[in-house]
């Protein structure tokens, strides 16, 4: 009979005399602390259930004590079932395991201080960045830029797409596109997806896709997983209505929250770690180009 494990501080036991086979048997029942049933958000969570050790925990947030022989032990719901912290600038919701950040902070764990002024643009609180008005660029949309029409690699439905020659992290790529008065490419139709995939495959055939600084040969587009929204969103804030994720993607392996075009899957989409060094595609939207001559 198991009476105690490493994290227990108290064990309370009671005995009961039971009649069995014409004789009296003394039965012991023990309650462990910590362990047993926990109260989470005012509701009693009962992790214990009859069955093979820890295979039938009733709480989706429960863990399992490991015995000395590395098999499953009894069930446990810890005081912090999410096993995460929101630091000094956020509050953890243990029901959803998500952080609600204080004003001026962002990030999954509220670890990023966010304070900037978007001079000619709209502030995006979720990413702590600016979306610039037409004709302006830079981190705070304070720099007036001119449209580099001659540098378009592709023009699709009036929008200009430029493939970078250098590699950068997702947010480095985002910043560079913005410095040119554009954004990381947003793909809203199968037509745009097919044309970009064909163009990149032609580059691949001519050995122009690979780059010494690129870790993967992939290309960033302007799509990331937004934790507060629990969904993928374009950098402009638009909902994801068209998608071209590769088979079994997104899979979030390696905590991939940023999306790139993946040559192995014919340039369908793949979720990737945002710090990965990839080449990228910048976009100047058609409506921006049409207005450009009026603001120069």
Look at residue 148 in the predicted model and tell me its pLDDT: 59
Does this model's pTM top 0.85? My answer is no
HSE-CB for 262 with a 13 A CA cutoff: 16
**CA angle, 146 then 193 then 216, to 5°:** 85
Task: Indicate whether 120 pLDDT > 70.
Answer: yes
Q: Which long-range contacts link 171-175 to residues 24+ away (Cβ below 8 Å)? A: 171/274, 173/220, 173/278, 173/280, 174/129, 174/220, 174/222, 174/235, 175/139
The reply to whether omega before 33 is within 30° of 0 (cis) is no
- How buried is 278 (Cβ within 10 angstroms: 0-12 exposed, 13-18 middle, 19+ buried)? buried
Supply the Cα-derived Rg of the chain in whole angstroms.
27
Structural domains in the chain, sorted by start: 10-76 (no CATH), 146-295 (3.10.100.10)
**269 within 8 A of 245, measured Cβ to Cβ:** yes
pLDDT in tens, 235-267: 888 888 999 998 888 886 556 689 999 999 999
Alpha-helical runs (H) found in the chain: 170-179, 190-205, 286-295
| pLDDT for residue 278 is more than 90 | yes
pLDDT tens-place string over residues 78-103: 566 676 788 888 888 877 778 888 87
Instruction: Supply φ then ψ for residue 288, to 5 degrees.
Output: -70, -45
The answer for residues whose C-beta is within 8 angstroms of residue 49's C-beta and 6 or more apart is: 56, 57, 58, 75
**C-alpha angle with apex 286: 188 to 181, nearest 5 degrees?**
100
- For residues 272 and 224, what is the distance between their CA atoms, to the nearest angstrom? 9
Q: Which of 36-50, 60-74, 125-139 is least confident?
A: 60-74
189, 215, 219: which is closest to 201 by C-alpha?
219
Q: Which of 64-78, 200-214, 241-255 has the lowest mean pLDDT?
A: 64-78
* Average confidence (pLDDT) over 152-172: 89
Return phi, psi of residue 204, to 5°: -65, -40
Q: Contact 181/175 with Cβ under 8 angstroms?
A: no
Least confidently predicted of 26-35, 62-71, 212-221, 240-249: 62-71
Is residue 70 scored above 60 in pLDDT?
Answer: no
DSSP assignment of 202-237 equals: HHHHTT-S--TT-SSS-EEEEEEEETTTTEEEETTS
> No. of H helices and E strands in the chain?
3, 22
In which band, very low, low, confident or very high, does the pLDDT at 49 lie, cut at 50, 70 and 90? Answer: very low
Q: Of 82, 95, 79, nearest to 38 (Cα)?
A: 79
Closest to 94 measured CA to CA, from 62, 46, 56, 126: 62
């Amino acid at each position: 009979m198991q009476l105690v494990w490493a994290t227990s501080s108290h064990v309370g036991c009671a005995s009961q005399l039971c009649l069995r086979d014409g004789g009296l048997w003394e039965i012991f029942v023990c309650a462990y602390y910590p362990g047993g049933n926990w109260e989470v958000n005012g509701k009693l969570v009962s992790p214990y259930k009859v069955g093979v050790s820890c295979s039938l925990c009733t709480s989706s947030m429960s863990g399992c004590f490991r015995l000395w022989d590395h098999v499953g032990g009894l069930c446990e719901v810890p005081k912090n079932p999410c096993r995460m912290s929101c630091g000094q600038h956020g509050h953890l919701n243990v029901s959803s395991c998500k952080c609600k950040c204080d004003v001026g902070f962002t990030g999954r764990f509220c670890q990023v201080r966010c304070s900037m002024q978007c001079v000619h643009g709209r502030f995006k609180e979720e990413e702590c960045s600016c979306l610039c008005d037409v004709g302006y660029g830079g981190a705070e949309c304070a720099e007036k830029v001119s449209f580099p029409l001659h540098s378009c690699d592709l023009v699709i439905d009036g929008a200009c797409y430029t493939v970078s020659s250098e590699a950068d992290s997702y947010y480095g790529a985002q910043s560079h596109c913005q410095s040119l008065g554009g954004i990381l490419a947003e793909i809203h139709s199968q037509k745009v997806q097919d044309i970009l995939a064909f163009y990149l495959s032609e580059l691949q055939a001519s050995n122009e896709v690979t780059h010494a600084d690129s870790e993967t040969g992939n290309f960033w587009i302007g799509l990331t997983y937004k934790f507060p929204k629990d969904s993928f969103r374009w950098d402009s804030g638009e909902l994801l209505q068209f998608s071209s994720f590769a088979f079994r993607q997104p899979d979030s392996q390696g905590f991939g929250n940023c999306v790139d075009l993946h040559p192995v899957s014919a340039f369908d989409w793949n979720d990737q770690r945002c710090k990965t060094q990839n080449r990228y595609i910048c976009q100047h939207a058609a409506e921006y180009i049409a207005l450009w001559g009026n603001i120069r």
